Chains A and B, each alone.
Chain A
Amino acid sequence: MAGLAEVPVGAAVRSSGGALRTVEWLAAGAFGLIVLLAILGPLLAPYPPEEQRFADGVLLGPGSPGHLLGTDQLARDLLSRLLVGTRVSLGVALAAVVLGLGLGLLIGGIAGMRGGWVDAVLMRAMDALLAFPALVLALVIAAALGPSLRTTVLAISIVMAPGFARLVRSLTLRERARDYVAAARASGASAGRIARVHILPNIWAPLGAQAALAFGHAIPAEAALSFLGLGVQLPDPSWGNMISEGYAYLSLSPWGVVLPSIMIVCTVASISILADGVRRALEV
Chain B
Amino acid sequence: MSASPLLEARGIAKRYRVGRAVLTAVDGVDLTIGRGEAVAVVGESGSGKSTLARILVGLEAPSQGEVRFDGRIVDPTSRGSRLSLGARVGVVFQDPYGSLNPRLSVARAIEEPLIVHRWGDASARRRRVAELLEAVGLDPDLGARRPRGLSGGQRQRVAIARALALDPELLVLDEPVSALDVSVQAQILNLLADLRRARTLAYLFISHDLAVVRQVAERIAVMYLGRIVEIASADELYGAAAHPYTLALLSSAAEVEGARASRIPLQGDPPSPIERPGGCPFHPRCFRARERCGREDPVVATDGSHRVACWYPGPVEPEEVRRLGPGGRDV
Assembly CA distance A188 to B76 (angstroms)? 10
Flag if A186 contacts B83 (CB, 8 Å).
no
Give chain A interface residues in 17-49, CB to chain B under 8 Å: none
Chain B residues near A188 (CB-CB < 8 A): 79, 82-87, 113, 116-117
- Is A179's CB under 8 angstroms from B95's CB? yes
B98-121 contact mask (Cβ, 8 Å, vs A): 1 or 0: 111111100001001100110000
B59 within 8 A of A: yes
A251 contacts chain B at the CB level, 8 A cutoff = no
Would B98 and A179 count as touching, CB distance under 8 A?
yes
- Check A197–B112 contact: CB distance below 8 A: yes
**Contact at B59–A180, with CB atoms within 8 Å?**
no
Q: Which residues of B contact A190 (CB under 8 A)?
A: 79, 116
Contact B112 A185 (CB under 8 A): no
Chain A interface size band reads 10 to 19
Q: Give the contacting residue for A183; candidates B82, B91, B166; CB below 8 A.
A: B91
Q: Chain B residues near A185 (CB, 8 Å)?
A: 59, 82
**Contact among A186, A187, A197 with B101 in the assembled complex (CB-CB below 8 Å):** A197
User: Does A63 sit within 8 A of B, measured CB to CB?
Assistant: no
**Contact B116 A178, beta carbon cutoff 8 Å:** no
A186 with B58: CB separation less than 8 A: yes
Q: Which residues of B contact A182 (CB under 8 A)?
A: 54, 59, 91, 93
Q: How far is B109's CA from A131's CA once the two chains are assembled, in angstroms?
A: 43
Q: Which residue of A lies closest to B89 (CB)?
A: A186
Q: Nearest residue in A to B109 (C-beta to C-beta)? A: A180
In the docked arrangement, what's the CA distance between A202 and B104, Å? 10
B57 at the interface (CB under 8 A from A): yes
Contact partner of B103 (CB less than 8 A), chosen from A184, A186, A202, is A202
B173 within 8 A of A: no
Q: A-side binding surface: helix, strand, loop or mixed?
A: helix
Note all chain B residues with C-beta closer than 8 A to A193.
116
B82 near A179 with CB under 8 A, answer no
Complex Cα distance, B109 from A178, in Å, reads: 14
Q: How far is the CB of B18 from chain A (nearest CB, A)?
A: 17
B162 within 8 A of A: yes
Please report the C-alpha to C-alpha distance between residue A179 and residue B179 in the assembled complex, in whole angstroms. Answer: 14
A190 to B116, CA, bound (A): 8
Taking the closest CB of chain B, its distance from the CB of A173, in whole angstroms, is 15
Q: How many Å lie between the Cα of A182 and that of B95 in the bound state?
A: 12
Is B225 interfacial (CB-CB < 8 Å)? no
Other-chain contact of A202, B59, B102, B116 (Cβ < 8 Å):
B102
Residue of A nearest to B93 (CB): A179
* Chain B residues, Cβ within 8 Å of A179: 93-95, 98-99
Chain B residue, CB-CB nearest to A204: B103
- A residues 164-206 touching B (CB-CB < 8 Å): 178-180, 182-190, 193, 197-198, 201-202
Q: How far is the CA of A202 from the CA of B166 in the complex (A)?
A: 26
Contacts of A202 in B (CB 8 A): 101-103
Give chain B interface residues in 43-93, CB to chain A under 8 Å: 54, 57-59, 79, 82-87, 89, 91, 93
Most buried by A among B87, B101, B102, B113: B101
B16 to chain A, nearest CB (A): 14
Pick from A178, A183, A197, A201 the residue with the most CB of B within 10 Å: A183
Indicate if the CB atoms of B112 and A187 lie closer than 8 Å.
Answer: yes
The answer to whether A198 touches B101 (Cβ under 8 A) is: yes
User: Cβ of A187 and Cβ of B59 under 8 Å apart?
Assistant: no
Known: A180-B101, A197-B112. A186 touches B91 (CB 8 A): yes
Residue of A nearest to B81 (CB): A188
With contacts A188-B83, A190-B79 taken as known, whether A183 is within 8 angstroms of B159 at the C-beta atoms is yes
In Å, the complex CA distance between A65 and B109 comes to: 66
Please, which residue of chain A has its CB at the minimum distance from the CB of B92? A183
Distance of A39 Cα from B109 Cα, bound (Å): 41
Q: Please pick, from A183, A198, A201, the residue contacting B162 in the complex, using a CB distance under 8 A.
A: A183
How far does the Cβ of A126 sit from chain B's closest Cβ, in whole Å?
A: 25
Chain B neighbourhood of A178, CB < 8 A: 98-99, 101
Asked if B112 and A184 make an inter-chain contact with CB atoms under 8 angstroms apart, the answer reads yes
Smallest CB-CB separation from B165: which chain A residue?
A187
Question: Hey, which chain A residues are within 8 Å of B58, CB to CB?
Answer: 186
Q: Which residues of A sit under 8 angstroms from B104, Cβ to Cβ?
A: 197
**Could you say which residues of chain A place their CB within 8 Å of the CB of B82?**
185-186, 188
B contact residues vs A (CB 8 Å cutoff): 54, 57-59, 79, 82-87, 89, 91, 93-95, 98-104, 109, 112-113, 116-117, 159, 162-163, 166
Interchain Cβ contacts under 8 Å between A and B, 11 examples: A179-B98, A180-B101, A182-B54, A183-B99, A186-B82, A187-B113, A187-B166, A193-B116, A197-B101, A201-B103, A202-B102
Apart from the given pairs A182-B93, A190-B116, 6 other A-B contacts in the complex at a CB distance below 8 Å: A179-B95, A180-B101, A186-B59, A189-B86, A189-B116, A190-B79
